[in-house]
Structure 1
Amino acid sequence: MTDNNKLSQVSITFFGAGSMAEAILRGLVEVKLTEPSKITVVNRQNAERLRGLSEAYGVVPAIEDNQKLDALKNADVILLGMKPKDAASAIASLRPLLRPEQLIISVIAGLSIATMHQLLDRPQPVVRTMPNTSSTIGLGATGISFSETVSETQRALSLAIFDAVGMSVVVDEPLIEAVNGVSGSGPAYIYFMMEAMIDAGVQLGLSREAATALTAQTVRGAGEMVKLTGEDPSELRRKVTSPNGTTFAALELMRQFGFQEGMNKAILRCAERAREMGEAIRAEASASEPRQ
């Protein structure tokens, strides 16, 4: 159980204001879990982006250098949402600013807790997460891991943030890459499949509008069936696949084209790529360590 009253009193600074950061802050504002005035957005130099977020959601833009420093120093929670290539230098810049009790939450693919501690040169309370962009509409799926220095209160707070924009699952940190492969990048796989379904519908004579509506409702319904019935997807598939019927014919062709094998390999490659990105950040962190 999460304590939403506590979250409403917490100040959150988004360090990095990309699409994932926007998805989360929009979700928090939409469900009224915290006041927009408690959320500050900071990025390296794109002031126009910060103003746009402020206009859209009512959050506070920190544009001037002194505003950025104050936002980072005074926040209860700093959510790291910059691009992986910018992560090492951005996190290292936090080192002289942080108080020991400030909570760091990362949504950066591949970035390990150990690397964050290395860049900060201290065992700061750190939460490593892998959400997805469905958080924008309150239907996100997030994997979460905690450093040993995260308190029970901070743990509950982190879960409250991500449960406010969907659902979360606590996993051991080495499994975060698996979460990335399955759900972090998962919406893109579904959209890719939907593109194919819509295009095929148009080829068969449907209007694009009708094909899109039918496809969207079909994907939504299939997801709800798995969730509400609790049945394994393979069992639900068998129930709608009559021998030598239309669905059977379609699935047989998918098997011939290696649909399942391709999907499995794609997810494994996604997880592998996340590890590669993490290694690159770790190498940069090691290279930038001050010599004793």
Structure 2
Amino acid sequence: MTEQHPSTEAKITFYGAGSMAEAILRGLVQSKLAAPSHITVMNRQNEQRLLELHQQYGVIPAASETQKQAALHDADIIILGMKPKDAAQAITALAPILRPTQLIISVIAGLSISTIQQLLGSDQPVIRTMPNTSSTIGLGATGISFSSSVDDSQRSLALSMFNSIGLSAIVEEPLIEAVNGISGSGPAYIYYMMEAMINAGIELGLTAEAARTLTVQTVKGAAEMVLTTGENPADLRRKVTSPNGTTQAALETLDSNGFQQGINKAIIRCAERAREMGEAIRAEAFK
């Protein structure tokens, strides 16, 4: 493995082949941080999905039980991306297959490092992450926490992986749920707002195409303004809000409809739901 591309030679197995797994593997392949021939994908039973990923990205599908066992045994990194309801059984089944040095990376919402290690029955190196689907285009935001058994090279490797598909922030594990609320589910909030903006534009007489184009550029431009200027969003908002002007009228309407409170409650509820999902997995596994 080279310093520039520390994960190029690592064998990576995705255990679960949903949208988040695809976002990550696509980022890895497109950034050339990992060769498709070093990436294996597997899931519980949807072989067609594996073939689709093979055709699109060149990664290796593991459909048969023999192929799955080999992929898990030979991997340097196993990325857990199965559905939460399948997690406990799948992780428990990993225990007899794993070597002590294999790195486990979880993208399963709510599932704690301690629960994973208890299911494995060992102090396996585990990294818990919360990426988002913008990773697909290299603009992801990922929160990341490490178990004490993760060594420096594994830390560097994981950070390289997730930085190749966007930005990563190291946080204490209890704060991963907050990351889920802010950035893990965050794109959906923005898409929802964009839907509303487009629909309002159409109601006001714009064509659907014009409303969409203007909305997309507005959201992109606002994000770039924050990045380029380094200013606080609140300060930028005040700069474009003239007293008794159109923007002030719009913001007052948002406030009267509980806009900020709604966003705050949504993010808090998202974090709570992540914790609930993790507790449910743990309760089911150790009942």
TM-score for both structures, normalised by structure 1 = 0.97
Partner of 1:277: 277
Kindly state the Cα deviation for residue 38 of structure 1 after the two structures are TM-superposed: 0.4
- Partner AA of 2:195 in structure 1: E
| Preserved contact between residue 241 and residue 248 of structure 1 (Cα < 8 Å) | yes
Partner of 1:85: 85
Partner of 2:218: 218
How do 1:24-103 residues align onto structure 2 when only pairs under 5 Å count? Answer: 24-103=24-103
How far does the alpha carbon of each residue in 1:230-283 deviate from its partner, in whole angstroms, 9 at most, with x for none?
111100100000001010000000000000000000000000000000000111
Q: Secondary structure at the match of 1:129?
A: strand
Partner of 1:290: none
Partner of 2:133: 133
Kindly state the Cα deviation for residue 30 of structure 1 after the two structures are TM-superposed: 1.0
Cα distance in structure 2, aligned partners of 1:177 and 1:227: 25
Cα distance in structure 2, aligned partners of 1:108 and 1:229: 35
Q: Which sections of structure 1, spanning at least 5 residues, go unmatched?
A: 288-292
How far does the alpha carbon of each residue in 1:208-246 deviate from its partner, in whole angstroms, 9 at most, with x for none?
111111111111111111122111110010000000101
| Preserved contact between residue 142 and residue 167 of structure 2 (Cα < 8 Å) | yes
- Partner AA of 1:275 in structure 2: R
Cα distance in structure 1, aligned partners of 2:96 and 2:226: 48
Give the ranges of 4+ consecutive aligned residues of structure 1 lying more than 2 Å apart after TM superposition. 2-6
Kindly state the Cα deviation for residue 205 of structure 1 after the two structures are TM-superposed: 1.0
Partner of 1:151: 151
| Preserved contact between residue 3 and residue 157 of structure 1 (Cα < 8 Å) | no
Kindly state the Cα deviation for residue 197 of structure 1 after the two structures are TM-superposed: 0.2
| Preserved contact between residue 3 and residue 156 of structure 1 (Cα < 8 Å) | no
TM-score for both structures, normalised by structure 2 = 0.98
| Preserved contact between residue 104 and residue 127 of structure 1 (Cα < 8 Å) | yes
Cα distance in structure 2, aligned partners of 1:264 and 1:14: 33
Cα distance in structure 2, aligned partners of 1:233 and 1:3: 37
Q: Which sections of structure 2, spanning at least 5 residues, go unmatched?
A: none
How do 1:239-278 residues align onto structure 2 when only pairs under 5 Å count? Answer: 239-278=239-278
Partner of 2:5: 5
Partner of 1:106: 106
Q: Secondary structure at the match of 2:127?
A: strand
| Preserved contact between residue 197 and residue 215 of structure 1 (Cα < 8 Å) | yes
| Preserved contact between residue 12 and residue 79 of structure 2 (Cα < 8 Å) | yes
Cα distance in structure 1, aligned partners of 2:139 and 2:33: 15
- Partner AA of 1:213 in structure 2: T
Identity between Structure 1 and Structure 2 (%): 68
| Preserved contact between residue 40 and residue 62 of structure 1 (Cα < 8 Å) | yes
Q: Secondary structure at the match of 2:150?
A: coil
Kindly state the Cα deviation for residue 9 of structure 1 after the two structures are TM-superposed: 0.7
Q: RMSD between aligned alpha carbons?
A: 0.9
1:197 aligns with 2:163: no
Kindly state the Cα deviation for residue 130 of structure 1 after the two structures are TM-superposed: 0.2
- Partner AA of 1:279 in structure 2: E
| Preserved contact between residue 83 and residue 108 of structure 2 (Cα < 8 Å) | yes
| Preserved contact between residue 118 and residue 285 of structure 1 (Cα < 8 Å) | no
Q: Secondary structure at the match of 1:128?
A: strand
Partner of 2:20: 20
Cα distance in structure 1, aligned partners of 2:217 and 2:85: 37
Cα distance in structure 1, aligned partners of 2:78 and 2:221: 37
Partner of 1:206: 206
- Partner AA of 1:136 in structure 2: T
How far does the alpha carbon of each residue in 1:157-202 deviate from its partner, in whole angstroms, 9 at most, with x for none?
0001100000000000000000000000000000000000000011
Cα distance in structure 2, aligned partners of 1:113 and 1:278: 10
Kindly state the Cα deviation for residue 3 of structure 1 after the two structures are TM-superposed: 3.5
- Partner AA of 2:84 in structure 1: P
Q: Secondary structure at the match of 2:269?
A: helix
Partner of 1:166: 166
Cα distance in structure 2, aligned partners of 1:95 and 1:125: 13
